[in-house]
Amino acid sequence: MLVVAQAAGPAPLPVADFSLAHPRADLTEKDKARVGSVTAPTQDFSAPERFEAMSGGAGTSKAPVNADAFSHFSANITFEEEETFKLGNALFRKFWVSSPSSTQASDGLGPLFSARSCQSCHLKDGRGRPPAGGEAVSMFLRLARAPQTAEEREDVAAHRRLNLPDPVYGEQLQEFAVPGLTAEGRMRIDYDDVPFTFPDGEAVSLRSPHYAVLDLGYGPLDPATTLSPRVANPMIGMGLIQAIEPGDILSRADPEDADGDGISGRPAIVRDHRTKEPILGRFGWKAQNGSIRDQVSSAFAGDIGISTPDLPRPEGDCTDRQADCLAMPNGVQPRLGDTEAPDPVMDLVTFYSENLAVPQRRDVDDPTVLRGKALFYGAGCPACHVPKYVTSRQAANKAQAFQLIWPYSDFLLHDMGEGLADGQAVGEADGREWRTPPLWGIGLTQAVSNHQFFLHDGRARSLTEAILWHGGEAERARDAFAALPAEDRAALIRFLESL
């Protein structure tokens, strides 16, 4: 993995707007007592906790486990909202086409792009994977570099960011192009085997990836440009994550490790795409987006090359050094608005993304699962993978309001060590930091996505490998897992597979 030193960035966005001292204004004193009681860490591993199987609260899907397990709407939305969900699903699956075309409502692809639809990356609304064996791939290379000159540092400071895109290739490598245009290049991954031996003598092999770009169509990358692979995250439960009170996330932040436990999670404070106001980042591998709508507009712009009212860039990821790209026609139709995906499209895709249900957990009362849960707690995993929250009573959608949910994440940024470092600063996150990913649904990866590749780049071929790659703040928990007897390690994995 290529790692570079980061230049000093601008002062972080203010956290004062999310003061940890602010109590939850949505709760009565009685509610606060109830919430405190149900979200307190359990001490009893002899039986499941109350409502533990309902990972997504009242919206939890009880549908049979199959490849569509992540594609069901929340069980508690209204009949009218089901129609909105289905319309959003159609747009999520729609293939955009290059301009001009006879299907004007689908115009606007590219000119350079990584995918033709949202579903192309989030296949079955599940987890992406690195290239392998000709199967569907949902992974791209993010491009970024630290500022090299005084002028670039001024530009970075003015835009309150920590890095710059590649001057020729932009923010990500685009492996596809519309007819008449050259694609930027293609990703190459080589893996080294890294042996690991558990204290009990069991040996496993980890994959250490190395990335390169081949067939560059527009000349060499800037020497300072780093490559950061990203696979698509699962889509389930996003509306519930958005409904968590900011204070409940911020109360767990400990950037200076004041309690001395070795865990120093930091909040990502980002700009809302529309209002430009600071909000708490919750979505993306580095918590770079603060709302589901921002996540949607970022994907439209960066992955498909579609302009939205939030990011009105019909040229997509074309840079000013790609003249042929900028000269290509775009899909803006005056009768449909001044962007290729106007507000009605954004609203529907956002609603769909907000209301994909979390599946019901399986085998919560299985003795091995319960023992694995106790070992998960004993290893210190809940310090970052916080099991449960009660969402805000003031959530925008009633279906997500005041729900007991079990995402297993603190949604903070953590230093994960040199082994997982990508050398890229994104928003508040530096080149070693990642947002704690939610674990709900992780045990259904094989059923939904037909693979078991984990972490931001899919390097881990099993949950065991994913744990062993944990470093930095997670090193103590990783070592605790590694020190367990084989039978106990298997029980902890069995617990994760039940999520």
H helix or E strand, kind and range, residue 176: strand 176-177
Question: What gap in Å lies between CA 483 and CA 468, rounded to an integer?
Answer: 11
Confidence of residue 10 (pLDDT cuts 50, 70, 90): very low
For residue 213, list its beta bridge partners.
Answer: 187
- The tokens describing 36, both together, are 């405190």
The separation between the first and the last C-alpha atoms of the chain, rounded to the nearest angstrom, is 30
Is residue 21 scored above 50 in pLDDT?
no
CA angle (76 as vertex; 25, 246 as ends), nearest 5 = 30
Q: Compute how many other C-beta atoms are within 10 angstroms of the C-beta atom of residue 134.
A: 6
Q: Tokens representing 51? A: 């409502």
Query: How many CB atoms sit inside 10 A of residue 5's CB?
Result: 7
β-partners of residue 141 are 229
Q: What's the residue count for the chain?
A: 499
What gap in Å lies between CA 180 and CA 87, rounded to an integer?
Answer: 32
In the block, tokens 């090299």 appear at 148
Task: Give the pLDDT confidence score for residue 157 in this predicted structure.
Answer: 72
Query: pLDDT for 186-242, tens place per residue?
Result: 999 999 999 999 999 999 999 999 999 999 999 999 999 999 999 999 999 999 999
pLDDT at 2: 28
* AA identity, residue 299: A
pLDDT of residue 134: 56
Distance CA 383, CA 252 (A): 9
Q: What percent of the chain has pLDDT over 70?
A: 93
Q: What pLDDT, on a 0 to 100 scale, did the predictor assign at position 9?
A: 35
Asked whether 170 and 313 are in contact (CB, 8 A), the reply is: no
* Among candidate residues 233, 220, 207, the one with its CA nearest the CA of residue 145: 220
Predicted confidence at residue 148, as pLDDT, reads 81
Q: What is the pLDDT of residues 109-166, one digit of tens each?
A: 999 999 999 999 999 999 999 987 656 568 999 999 988 888 877 777 766 667 889 9
User: What are 27-61's pLDDT values in tens digits?
Assistant: 999 999 999 999 999 999 999 999 999 999 999 99
Distance of alpha carbon 418 from alpha carbon 499, whole angstroms: 28
pLDDT band (50, 70, 90) for residue 11: very low
- The reported pLDDT for the residue numbered 158 is 67
In this structure, of 154-163, 295-304, 392-401, the range with the lowest mean pLDDT score is 154-163
> Mean pLDDT score of the chain, rounded to an integer?
92
The four Cα atoms 487, 493, 497, 498 give a dihedral, to 10 degrees, of: 70
